[in-house]
Structure 1
Amino acid sequence: MSLIHLAASAGYTTPPLWRILTKSSYFLGLSGAIGATVTYAAAVRPALRSPENERGDIDALRRRTAMYLAWSGVVLLVAGYFQLAARVSRAGKGMPFGDALAPGRIWDFLRAPAAKGAWVAQGTIYLVQNVVLVLVSAALVALLFSQARRHLDTIALTALPLTVAVSLIAAIPATAPTDADKVLDLLFDQVHIISGTVWIGGLALLATLARARGRLGESAGALWADLWRRFSFVALVCVGAVLTSGLWMSWKHVGSIGQLWTTSYGFFLLIKIALVLAMVVAGGFNQFWLMPRIAQARRADSTASLVHLTLRHFPAVVWAEVGLGIAVLAVVPFLSGSARSEAGSPQPAMSGSIFAAGAALVLTLVASLYITVKTSDALARRQDLATP
């Protein structure tokens, strides 16, 4: 069955091009801002603070990080405006996207009164969100100037919670959730978005920083070994959060395995799952093959091998992950509606047995991630023993 026929038979409406571009760009902007600030705080900054690093390497990476953050602010600001216009276009009876771009239309939308039964106007929520978005974008864009770059730590660490707030504020419901399921939907949706943007955005930042290898000294391999090690932990946490929240959302929106290829929502979800699993496989290659060899080269004080592994081999795999991550963001706009509603399946209800099964899956996932770390360490020790 062709995709067009599948969409028609299931009552699925393919989003217009402007909706695909605005939503994908918005999540790309979030990935750049959230992913870069979190990765800088959790991996780059601690690695740069090591006293063993050369001053030239530190300055080169700080300068490139500042420029990356600055352009992330530009992308977030532009993408945020188009995303807001998309909300205006879809509000009420709707209007052409071109008309929704007018500042007057946007301002009217933001000032619209609250709906009956709402505790706050939806436009007010988006107004607060976009005020925060403008503030964080302005802070990041300031890093284009040399005077602001001297305060990189302060700006990045201040921007971090604000970038996360951009996503969280938009998720605040204008009407109180009617049951616990609605609350969990909001919670897991935000966990999915934030962990996914940290994962993709962090990979993009580090892959970009690795391109500065020509300006780094011979001892930069040790710095990057520490940097990749720190980010590997961040990525593992993100993978766990993405998979956990993804399981919840899949259960809510897909009633059976067959709906993955008999409904349009399921079809696009299947593509997204395949792309995410490919990212996990690439990350597993880094964790099980590259990280042990990096650890062994570091202990053996093999400068040449360390530079080759950390600044040439590792980034090549990471760029592949970035490409897969961007493909995931391109699929997201197509995930509208629900496979259950397309197939006429009843909506799921939370129960004690469902909660127990979900808890067991989460515990299994946590255990598998813990085993992943331990296995990687064991492989590194085996490399040491195998080295004459």
Structure 2
Amino acid sequence: MSTATLAATTVPYAMPQLWRVLTKAGYFLGLSGAIGATFTYATTVRPALRTTDSGTENGAVLRGRSATFLAWAGVVLLVTGYLQLAARVARAGKGMPFSDALAPAQLWDFLQAPAAKGAWIAQGTVYLAQNIVLVMTAALLMALFTPAARRHADRLALTAVPLSLAVTLIGAVPTTAPTDLDRWLDITFDQLHVISGTVWFGGLALLVALAGTRSRLGTDAGLLWADQWRRFGFLAMLCVAVVTISSLWLSWKHVGAISQLWTTGYGLALLIKILLVAGLVTAGAFNQFWLMPRIVRARRADDTTSLLRLTLRHFPKVVWGEVALAVAVLVVMPFISGSARAEAGSPKAVSSGTVFAAGAALTLALAVSLFATARASDALARRQGGTAAA
């Protein structure tokens, strides 16, 4: 390719406007609260309460704080969803000032726009369905502000799980049928990335909020929290696996060479995100290899004082750091727009049998490494337990 041709095919990086950064980051914050908190409550908090601390004062405190967190998550989802819809209106067609796009009349006109030529459904109709489900999810969660609804918190939270997932899944419905496998894979991996990331981030935020109740918990709460951290550790590892696999696909689609990570605007933003996520994974590894074995040892020794200190003082401090990194990831995400390939004039990525084989090998290697991580953590716990007994 000649220099002239390369210059003609490059696409300059466009820095997002401030309102775009705030609305997109806010929207994913809202999704994290709705998807992550409800999913974590359903898979981690509720089972631990039912198994370890059902019907006790500790359980009542954590159920109450969970209901409050979920209710506020509904508020955040509703507000950020509205702002995200306005951002879409501001960017549609020839565009308009974001302040004008906030008007309900402008939103309604956007949602009622006819389908484009060749589309099986109008884009506005897809967003209308998405936002109807979003309002339903937010209303369901906000109902937890009322004492009557809190008596059915488990049922409401479990109902909100599929509804919150539907918010992002409906928004990803293509208005024209994808013509090749790559397009289907783009949609699939993008949604897997969003869901696993929001479950991970929202779950961290919920557990940090629950850890703030430690002054109101009894001395026997360490056992309950040990169970919760164990359950969430497994959930977080699954999220890390899905985030990693989906990231590999999406990065390959948009980055044509390693050097594009520091020579393009898209690549720089992606590189910062990768470093932040690496920090999250490192903190998770610290939990898995240092804190969890000590928690298991204290639990086996029936050392309630150490168990309480580890689960409600040391562990939350690390998780607070993870939450800060997660927020930073959300702030960086709006800057990952366009494509490093387009900026550098590289050809579009096209999948092949070799690409799929490499992806399968990487997936297998990741699964083996996560399995080895879990086994190593268990082995450390047994070794420390044996040393303490000796």
Q: Does TM, normalized by the shorter one, top 0.5?
A: yes
- Does the 8 Å CA contact 1:265/1:334 hold for their aligned counterparts? yes
Structure 1 runs, 4 residues or longer, greater than 3 Å off: 51-54
Q: 2: CA distance between counterparts of 1:201 and 1:11?
A: 34
Instruction: Indicate whether 1:166 and 2:167 are aligned.
Output: yes
Determine if contact 2:172/2:187 at 8 Å carries over to the other structure.
yes
Counterparts of 1:231-250 in structure 2 under 5 Å? 231-250=232-251
Which residue is equivalent to 2:334? 333
**In the alignment, is residue 253 of structure 1 matched against residue 260 of structure 2?**
no
Distance 1:137 1:248 in 2: 32
Q: Does the residue aligned with 2:356 lie in a helix, a strand or coil?
A: helix
Give the CA RMSD over aligned residues. 0.9
Task: Give me the whole-angstrom Cα distance separating, in 2, the residues matched to 1:99 and 1:354.
Answer: 45
C-alpha deviation, 1:53, in angstroms: 5.1
Partner of 2:178: 177
Q: Using the alignment, how far apart are the partners of 1:51 and 1:195 within structure 2?
A: 27
Residues 65-124 of structure 1 show CA distances to partners (whole Å, capped at 9, x for unaligned) of 000000000000000000000000101111111110000000000000000000000000
For 1:103 and 1:33, how far apart are their aligned partners in 2? 24
Q: How does 1:267-286 map to 2 (within 5 A)?
A: 267-286=268-287
CA contact (8 A) 2:11 2:342 kept: no
CA distance in 2, matches of 1:370, 1:204: 25
Deviation sequence 1:182-221 (CA, Å, 0-9, x none): 0000000000000000000000000110010011011000
Check whether the contact 1:191–1:241 (CA below 8 A) recurs between aligned residues: yes
* 2:351 partner letter: M
- Between the aligned partners of 2:355 and 2:183, the Cα distance in structure 1 is 16
2:74 corresponds in structure 1 to 73
1: distance between equivalents of 2:14 and 2:123? 25
Kindly provide the amino acid, as one letter, of the partner of residue 126 in structure 1.
Y
Can you list the C-alpha shifts for 1:145-200, whole angstroms capped at 9, x where unaligned?
11100000110000000000000000000011110000000000000000000000
Cα contact 1:10–1:264 (8 A) shared by 2: no
1:298 match: 299
Q: Which residue of 1 aligns with 2:24?
A: 23
Q: Which amino acid in 1 is paired with 2:306? A: S
Deviation at residue 52 of structure 1 after TM alignment:
5.0
- 1:51 CA drift (Å): 5.2
Cα 1:39–1:52 change in 2 (3 A) is closer
Note closer, same or farther for the CA distance 1:182–1:69 as it changes in structure 2 (3 Å cut). same
Query: Partner of 2:151 in structure 1?
Result: 150
Q: Normalising to structure 1: TM-score of the pair?
A: 0.97
Could you list the per-position Cα deviations for residues 304-323 of structure 1 after superposition, in whole angstroms to 9, with x for gaps in the alignment? Answer: 00000000000000000000
The answer for the alignment partner of 1:64 in structure 2 is 65
* 1:49 alignment partner, SS class: helix
Q: In structure 1, the residue corresponding to 2:51 is in which secondary structure?
A: coil
Per-residue deviation at 1:10? 6.5
* 2:193 maps to 1:209: no
What do the CA deviations read for 1:292-313 (whole angstroms, capped 9, x no partner)? 0000100000000000000000
Aligned position for 1:13: 14
Show CA shifts across 1:319-343 (max 9, x none): 0000000000000000110000000
Once residues 204 and 327 of structure 1 are traced to their aligned partners in structure 2, the CA distance between those partners, rounded to angstroms, is 13
Corresponding residue for residue 3 of structure 1 = none
Contact 1:10 1:263 in 2 (8 A): no
Aligned match of 2:36: 35
- Distance in 1 of aligned mates of 2:308 and 2:155: 30
Report the AA paired with residue 87 of structure 1. Answer: R
Write the deviation string for residues 4-46 of structure 1: whole angstroms up to 9, x where unpaired: xxxxx96111100000000000000000110000000100000
> Is the CA contact (8 Å cut-off) linking 1:225 and 1:310 kept in structure 2?
yes
Q: Distance in 2 between matches of 1:53 and 1:229?
A: 18
1:332 alignment partner AA: M
Cα separation, partners in 2 of 1:43 and 1:327, compared to 1, 3 Å: same
Aligned-partner Cα distance in 2 for 1:272–1:20: 15
Q: CA deviation at 1:379?
A: 0.4
Q: Is 2:272 the partner of 1:266?
A: no
CA distance in 1, matches of 2:80, 2:198: 15
Number of aligned pairs?
380
Change (3 A) 1:351 1:42: same
Distance in 1 (CA, whole Å) between partners of 2:103 and 2:344 is: 39
Q: Secondary structure at the match of 1:114?
A: coil
Looking at structure 2, the residues matched to 27 and 223 of structure 1 have their Cα atoms a distance apart, in angstroms, of: 30
> Offset at 1:130?
0.1
Q: Gapped runs of 5+ residues in structure 2?
A: 1-9
Q: TM-score, normalised by structure 2?
A: 0.96
The residue number in structure 1 matching 2:125 is: 124
Where does residue 6 of structure 1 map in the other structure?
A: none
The corresponding residue for 2:136 is 135
Q: C-alpha offsets along residues 265-311 of structure 1, whole Å, 9 cap, x if unaligned?
A: 00000000000000000000000000000001000000000000000
Q: Please state whether the residue corresponding to 1:172 is helix, strand or coil.
A: coil
What is the rounded CA distance, in whole Å, between the counterparts of 1:158 and 1:10 in structure 2? 44
Question: Secondary structure of the residue that 2:355 maps to in structure 1?
Answer: helix
